[in-house]
């Protein structure tokens, strides 16, 4: 099932050398209420999150990768927290930061059913074939698709044409494997893409890797980065007791999680790799380099701390943001190009950031994944130490 969140989002690209300039703004995303009137302190001086942290806003993603710092947040927060800092920078620095003028919407995909790689392909292929540019974020609990607000009707149409049912009552899509196939007529405000989209997934893959090769974009492995996918532990339905006060156990867990996140974000000069997703419906989800784990107490995070993922990064700074098919093309290659007579598809998840795409695969699957991408890109591969 896919549900749509009612918020207008901005995507922010910050070069890593300017990360420190925006660090205070990033930290304020973690404390949206407290940032307006100063951070409240406990008796021992520790910074305390506001009530119901971090579930105030529908969707926030903060990602720091070897390519960039990328932030997804509401248009309001982008205007309040990031524009003032941007205006203080010199002209050259301002030109290197990008805050999208176009609004995006986010759709949440339940993580049940198909494995992560197949979910990426099933959800992105109809949109890519319709010529719709998307961003895709895999988290511990769910997947999230970000699409331009102006393409909302096209997204609905493309998913319905592939058998996804739209329910007006819940503003959600339902996996076609659980419901009868349904076709619907096109909405009146659907616009055709400016360039003809590919007709098949195979053609899409060919176009995708041809574009990457033409722009000298190669899958890159950063040696030494080992990622862990985990989530904040949150017991209880909403973290509140019957008398309206925060449950003490939940409050302690949230406070400890908050402290760990702050430690990660202020790691000088910036974290090696960290992606944090906050929503108003799920606990915080994290994808982080294993060297950051000591910032958290052992019982705060859900998930295995020993199943390491290796990131394979595509630097997309030389591509227009509206480029289509990158996520689907890469996912299709990994789910289809790694299948042998006795082999299953390589396990994978995906993280779209403002100017990059990162595929995460288990360490033991790295060789198969690189061979598939290597073949698709005609040998375009580099490894950085």
DSSP state of 240: B
| Nearest of 86, 90, 94, 73 to residue 28 by alpha carbon | 73
Q: Is 301 exposed, middle or buried (0-12, 13-18, 19+ CB in 10 A)?
A: buried
Q: What pLDDT score was predicted for residue 181? A: 32
Radius of gyration of the chain (CA): 21
Expressed in angstroms, the distance from the first to the final Cα of the chain is: 41
Q: Tens digit of pLDDT for each residue in 307-361?
A: 999 999 999 999 988 787 888 888 888 877 555 545 678 888 999 999 999 999 9
Q: Tens digit of pLDDT for each residue in 35-53?
A: 444 444 444 444 454 444 4
Per DSSP bridges, beta strands 220-222 and 382-384 are parallel
Q: What pLDDT score was predicted for residue 63? A: 98
Q: 218-244 burial by CB neighbour count: b if 16+ within 10 A, else e? A: bbbbbeebebbbbbbbbeeeebeeeee
CA atoms of 385 and 98, how far apart (whole Å): 28
- 333 φ, ψ (degrees, to nearest 5): -65, -40
Helix, strand, coil percentages in the chain from 3-state DSSP, rounded to 5: 35, 25, 40
Q: What pLDDT score was predicted for residue 22? A: 98
| CATH among 3.30.2130.10, 3.60.20.10, 2.40.110.10, 3.30.420.10 for 2-224+309-380 | 3.30.2130.10
Instruction: Find out whether the peptide bond into 252 is cis, omega within 30 degrees of 0.
Output: no
Q: What pLDDT score was predicted for residue 230? A: 95
Helix (H), strand (E) at residue 371: helix 366-376
| Look-up of token digits 């309001």 | 76
Domain limits, the chain: 2-224+309-380
- 221 φ, ψ (degrees, to nearest 5): -105, 125
Residue 199 CB neighbour total at 10 angstroms = 9
Q: What pLDDT score was predicted for residue 291? A: 96
Task: Name the 3-class secondary structure at 175.
Answer: coil
Below-70 pLDDT ranges, the chain: 1-2, 32-56, 110-117, 163-195, 197, 234-251, 337-343, 376-385
| Whole-number Cα distances in Å, 361 to 110, 200, 226, 346 | 20, 25, 10, 7
- 4 φ, ψ (degrees, to nearest 5): -100, 130
CA atoms of 71 and 49, how far apart (whole Å): 20
């Amino acid at each position: 099932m896919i549900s749509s969140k009612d918020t207008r989002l901005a995507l922010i690209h910050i070069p890593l050398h300017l990360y420190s300039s925006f660090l205070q703004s990033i930290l304020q995303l973690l404390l949206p209420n407290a940032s307006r009137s100063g951070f409240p302190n406990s008796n021992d001086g520790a910074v305390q999150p506001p009530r119901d942290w971090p579930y105030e806003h529908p969707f926030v993603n903060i990602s720091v990768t070897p390519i960039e710092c990328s932030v997804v947040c509401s248009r309001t927060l982008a205007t309040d927290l990031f524009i003032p800092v941007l205006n203080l920078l010199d002209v050259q620095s301002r030109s290197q930061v990008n805050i999208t003028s176009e609004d995006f919407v986010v759709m949440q995909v339940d993580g049940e059913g198909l494995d992560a790689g197949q979910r990426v392909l099933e959800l992105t292929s109809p949109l890519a074939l319709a010529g719709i540019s998307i961003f895709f974020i895999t988290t511990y609990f769910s997947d999230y698709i970000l699409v331009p607000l102006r393409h909302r009707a096209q997204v609905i149409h493309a998913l319905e044409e592939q058998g996804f049912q739209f329910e007006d009552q819940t503003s959600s899509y339902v996996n076609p494997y659980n419901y009868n196939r349904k076709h619907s007529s096109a909405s009146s405000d659907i616009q055709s893409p400016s360039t003809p989209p590919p007709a098949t997934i195979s053609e899409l893959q060919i176009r995708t890797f041809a574009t990457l090769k033409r722009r000298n974009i190669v899958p890159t492995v950063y040696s030494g980065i080992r990622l862990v996918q985990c989530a904040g532990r949150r017991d209880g339905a909403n973290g509140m007791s019957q008398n309206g006060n925060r449950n003490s156990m939940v409050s302690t867990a949230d406070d400890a999680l908050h402290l760990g996140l702050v430690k990660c974000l202020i790691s000088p000069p910036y974290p090696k790799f960290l992606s944090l997703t906050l929503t108003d419906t799920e606990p915080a989800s994290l994808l982080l380099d294993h060297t950051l784990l000591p910032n958290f107490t052992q019982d705060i995070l859900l998930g295995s701390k020993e199943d390491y993922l290796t990131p394979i990064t595509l630097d997309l700074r030389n591509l227009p943001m509206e480029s289509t098919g990158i996520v689907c093309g890469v996912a299709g290659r990994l789910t289809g190009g790694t299948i042998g007579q006795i082999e299953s598809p390589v396990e994978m998840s995906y993280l779209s950031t403002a100017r990059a795409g990162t595929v995460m695969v288990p360490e033991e699957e790295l060789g198969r994944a690189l061979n598939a991408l290597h073949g698709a890109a005609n040998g375009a591969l580099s490894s950085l130490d």
